[in-house]
Structure 1
Amino acid sequence: MAIVKQGLALLNEVGLDGLSLRRLARELGVQAPALYRHFAGKDDLLHAMADAMFDAEMAALDRPPPGADWGDWLAERSRAVRRAMLSYRDGGRLREHMDDPADHWPGLELLLQMMEEAGFTAEEALSAVFAVGNHVLGSVIAEQESRQFDRPSGRDVHIDPRRFPRLARAATLRTCGRDFEGEFEYGLKVFIAGLRGMSARAR
C-alpha cells in the first residue's frame, strides 16, 4: 500500500516519535481525514508498517532448503530479522507494534518441526526461538538508540589500568567503538552452541 510505503519513508526522516497521521497526510498531499478511512489511528498505521518492514527479508525464508540444519536456519532467520529492523530508523521499536505475524508462521512452523526432530520438546523449541528473538530485538534497539542519541561509540574512556587491568585491556579493543554486528554474532553463536548441546543431551 502506498500509504504504508510512504510511512516507512517518513519514519526514516523523523523517527517513530515524530511520525503522525497528520504529518504523513502532508507528505502524501492529502487531508488527514482521508487517512482515517484506512487507519483508525497511529497505532493502526504502525501495525501495518511493522508488518511491511519484514516483507522483503522474510519472503525468502518461508521454507528451509532441503536438508537444512535447524541451527543454521535459526541463525539465518535471526540475521534476516535483524537486517529488516536495521533497514529503518527505529525499526526495533517499530517491531514491537507488529500486529499480525501470520505471514511468518509457515517458516516458523517448519523451524519448530526441525527442532523437534533434533530432540527438542515443543515447549523447548518455542522457548529457544523466543529467546533468540529477544537477543535480536535487544541488539537492534541498543544499536539504534546509540545512533539516535549520537553517542560517540569511539570516545576515549579513561580507565586506571592499576585498579581495573582487565577493563583497561578490553577498552583498547574498542578504540573504534562498539562492534554491534560482532556482538550480535557472538551472542547468536553462544545461543546456537548452547541449544546444540541441549539437543545432543536430549538425544
Structure 2
Amino acid sequence: MSKGLAKEDVVRAALDTLDAEGLDGLTLRKVAARLDVQAPALYWHVRSKQELLDEMGTEIWRRISLRLEERSVDEPWRTALAAYARIARTELLAHRDGAKMATGTTMTDVEVLRRREPRLAAMMRQGFTVRTAAQANVLLHHFVIGFCIEEQSVIQAKAAGDPRYDLRDRDARVDSDAYPLVAEAGREIFEDDDRRFAELVELILGACEGLRSADDAAGA
C-alpha cells in the first residue's frame, strides 16, 4: 500500500487522526497505523511532524481559498472580508484543534497563495494600498485564529464535563450579587459564540475602514 500512497492520503488520514486524538495525540506513527503502513512509509511525503502540520494547515487554507473563489471578486471589500472570516471559522472548527493545528504552519502549495491576488487587487480598486490591504487581512486573520482557538478549547472542555465554563457555577464563584458587572460580562463572553463572532468581525471591519480612509487622506 505504501507504494501507491499519495500525499492526499496522508493528509486525509492525519486530519482524521486529529479529530480522533486531538493535536497532542497526533503522531506520524498513529497516522501510519490509520493507513495500515509503517511510519517510514510516510517519509516520502513528510519527514517530521512539523512538515505534516504544514501539509494539514495548507489543506485547510486550500479549502478556504476554494470556497472564496466561488464568490464574486468584485463584491464590496467589507462583504468579502466578512465572508472570509465566516468561511475560515467554519473550516477551522470542522476539525478538533483545527485552529491550534493551523497556527505557525507554512504554506506548501503556492497556488493557495496565488489565489489571493485577485482579492488583493479588488481591495486596491476600492481604496486600499498594498500595505493597508495586507494589514486589514492580517488583523482579521489573527482575530479569527485566536477566536477559534479559544472557542474550540471551551467547546471541548464543556464536552468533557469541565464545570469551569458553567455560567451558574461561575456566577456563584464570582458572587454575582456583589459583582453584577463581572457576572454580566461573563455571560457576554461565554454565551452565543456566533453572535459575538459576528459583532467582533464588524468592529474589526470598522478598523479596516479606518485604514482605507487613511489611504484616501494620504492620497488626497
> For the superposition of Structure 1 and Structure 2, which TM-score range results when normalised by the shorter chain?
0.7 to 0.9
Taking the aligned partners of 1:37 and 1:120, their CA distance within structure 2 comes to 43
Q: Residue 145 of structure 1: which of 153, 156, 167 is its match?
A: 153
* Residue from 18, 26, 33 that aligns with 2:25: 18
Indicate if the aligned counterparts of 1:120 and 1:202 stay in contact, CA closer than 8 A.
Answer: yes
Structure 2 Cα separation of the partners of residues 200 and 56 of structure 1: 32
Cα gap change, 1:124 to 1:21, in 2 (>3 Å): same
1:194 aligns with 2:207: yes
Q: 1:123 offset after TM fit, Å?
A: 1.1
Quote the Cα distance in structure 2 between the aligned partners of 1:172 and 1:36. 48
Bigger mean CA deviation after superposition, 164-173 or 178-187: 164-173
Residue 88 (structure 1) aligned with residue 79 (structure 2): no
Size of the alignment, in residue pairs?
A: 201
Change (3 A) 1:131 1:189: same
Q: Deviations over 1:29-78 (max 9, x none)?
A: 11122112221111111111111123333212136416410110011012
CA–CA separation in structure 2 for the residues paired with 1:165 and 1:23? 48
Give the aligned residue type for 1:154.
D
Equivalent position to 2:127, from 103, 112, 119: 119
User: In the alignment, what sits opposite 1:167?
Assistant: 182
**Structure 2 unaligned spans of 5+:** 1-7
Deviations, residues 6-43 of structure 1 (Å, cap 9, x unaligned)? 11011000011101111111121111221122211111
Aligned residue for 2:113, secondary structure, equals helix
What whole-Å deviation, never above 9, does each CA across 1:134-168 have from its counterpart, x for those lacking one? 11000000011113334443331134456434334
After TM superposition, the score normalised by the length of structure 1 is: 0.85
Which residue pairs with 1:34 in the alignment? 41
What SS does the aligned partner of 1:188 have?
A: helix
The more displaced of 118-127 and 190-199 is 190-199
TM-score normalised to the size of structure 2? 0.80
2-structure distance, mates of 1:173, 1:95: 27
Matched, 1:3 2:10: yes
Whichever residue aligns with residue 45 of structure 1, its letter is L
CA contact under 8 A between 2:73 and 2:119: conserved in structure 1? Answer: no
Higher alpha-carbon deviation: 92-101 or 45-54? 92-101
**Structure 1 residue runs without a partner (length 5+):** none
Distance in structure 2 (CA, Å) of the matches to 1:81 and 1:58: 9
Asked if 1:154 corresponds to 2:169, the answer is no
Counterpart Cα distance in 1 of 2:103 and 2:186: 33
- SS of aligned partner of 2:116: helix
Closer, same or farther: CA 65–30 of 1 in aligned 2, 3 Å:
same
1:25·1:32 contact (CA, 8 Å) conserved in 2? Answer: yes
Distance 1:41 1:170, change over 3 A: closer
Partner of residue 60, structure 2: 53
Structure 2 counterpart of 1:52, which letter? E
Cα distance change, pair 45–169 in 1 and its aligned pair in 2 (3 A): closer
What is the aligned-residue RMSD (CA, Å)?
2.4
Q: Do the aligned residues in 2 keep the contact of 1:7 with 1:49 (CA within 8 Å)?
A: yes
Please tell me the residue identity of whatever aligns with 1:129. Answer: N
User: Could you tell me how far apart the structure 2 residues matched to 1:9 and 1:43 are?
Assistant: 17
